[in-house]
Amino acid sequence: MIIKAFFTNSFGILVSRILGFIRDLLTASVLGANIYSDIFFIAFKLPNLFRTIFAEGAFTQAFIPAYARSKNKLRFSTIIFVNFTGFILLFSIFVTLFASIVTKLIAIGFDEATVDLAAPLVAINFYYLPLIFIVTFMGALLQYKNHFATTAFSTALLNIAMIIALLLARGLDEYTITYYLSYGVIAGGILQVIAHIIAIKQKGLTKNFVCDVKKWKIKTKIKTKEFYNKFYHSTLGSSTAQISAFIDTWLASFLVSGSISYLYYANRLFQLPLALFAIALSVALFPSIARAIKNEDLDKALLMLRKSFWILFALLGIATLIGIIFAREIVWLLFERGAFDNEDTYNTSIVLIAYMIGLLPFGLNKVFSLWLYSHQKQLIAAKISAKSLIANIIFSLIMIAPFGAVGLAFASTLSGFILLFLTIKEFGFQLFWQRIIKL
């Protein structure tokens, strides 16, 4: 079941990422690496950050164990869905009303004129967040039923919608193209929701969306409170790489025009093997490890962890070497055309190398963090991530002046090594050596 789920997730992610690279290829060709691409990537950054956190860890890691332990699963899931959806919709309206302030917060280095250009795009793109939460919630229910395909392939719909938007916008002015892209994001989110609704109906899970307020008893509220505590901790614990990339973008707004775009394109390439191997494997592995630990079968859980570690080590090791050795050729092949010139290729490739050095620690941490989440140690995982993020900020502030965007990327990589070290320390160095490394 784990192998099948892993290949399903990997193939779905591969399809999505291929379409994503086609999308990025078109974006680079049409917009290049300049102020207009920068403002779109800023606008897309915040909802995309939340999308990554929701879809690739935090919510599912908190929800599945709580859902499995809940005596009244229907009531529990309904409360979670209603509460989260209501809060996110209100949050999205707040961002719409105060778009300029939010834009200044996420791109503090932008001048007033650039903020005015970016703010409307931030407001539009943020409505992707409530859509992707609905997708994530339905995806978690489907994963509990061992159905992974719909969620794995659905991100492709977002990329298809954005590709269509780019094709329709060709020949228009650059600022108008950013609007087309933004509405393409919303269209992609709607398509993802529709795909999951179809799968939910096929699996007979529509009852989880039926609201009966009269039956929300105190006992259930206590359990949801416990879930929220786990979720908050999981959010920080599972999203270090994404938050690090967000910090990179925030600081890059102080650098020369195009720096945000270099970080974006390089990070997209870095995220491919991370998602294709580490995230796909961890998503497939988590329900099985959680069940084994719940049943107190630690030997089975450790065996699964050991096999996953060595598979991931080999795959990510090969990907790291390829990414470092052929960085310039990869960027040239994918992006150098149209408005994306040879200088943009060089700048993006050296940023990519700085990111790729951190692929192994970030990827392997995905596997070992499952052990902490399965033992309900979300708070400990959150503290570890907080230490890693603090290190990332310190390294970024040190390296941004002498090395620019490359320094920001390498600061993220260094924080990844700290993250893995602290996670293995909590797992136990002796246990790591005897049950994972030792043959």
Residue range 44-57: mean pLDDT, rounded: 68
Taking residue 212's Cβ as centre, other Cβ atoms within 10 Å add up to: 9
- Res 403 pLDDT > 80: yes
Structural domain including 167 reads 2-437
| Structure confidence at residue 365 (pLDDT) | 92
- Please state, in angstroms and rounded to a whole number, the distance separating the CA atoms of residues 230 and 290: 14
Residue 75 — very low, low, confident or very high, per pLDDT cuts 50/70/90? confident
Most confident of the following: 52-56, 148-152, 332-336: 332-336
pLDDT in tens, 273-285: 988 888 778 777 7
- Res 337 pLDDT > 80: no
What one-character DSSP code corresponds to residue 357?
T
| Structure confidence at residue 131 (pLDDT) | 92
Closest CA to 346 of 325, 332, 359: 332
Q: What is the overall mean pLDDT for the chain? A: 83
Tokens 């990997």, residue? 10
pLDDT in tens, 415-435: 999 999 999 999 999 999 998
- Please state, in angstroms and rounded to a whole number, the distance separating the CA atoms of residues 342 and 329: 11
pLDDT in tens, 219-275: 555 567 777 777 777 776 666 666 776 777 778 878 877 888 899 889 889 988 988
| Structure confidence at residue 238 (pLDDT) | 62
Residue range 377-381: mean pLDDT, rounded: 82
Residue range 283-300: mean pLDDT, rounded: 78
Residue 381 — very low, low, confident or very high, per pLDDT cuts 50/70/90? confident
Return the higher-pLDDT residue of 85 and 65.
Answer: 85
| Structure confidence at residue 190 (pLDDT) | 95
Choice among 61-75, 151-165, 256-270 with the minimum mean pLDDT: 61-75
- Please state, in angstroms and rounded to a whole number, the distance separating the CA atoms of residues 345 and 334: 10
Choice among 100-114, 187-201, 208-222, 343-357 with the minimum mean pLDDT: 208-222
- Res 15 pLDDT > 60: yes
- Res 65 pLDDT > 80: no
What secondary structure, in 3-state letters, does 331-391 show?
A: HHHHHCCCCCCHHHHHHHHHHHHHHHCCHHHHHHHHHHHHHHHHCCCHHHHHHHHHHHHHH
| Structure confidence at residue 36 (pLDDT) | 82
Q: How many separate domains does the chain show? A: 1
Closest CA to 334 of 325, 324, 344: 344
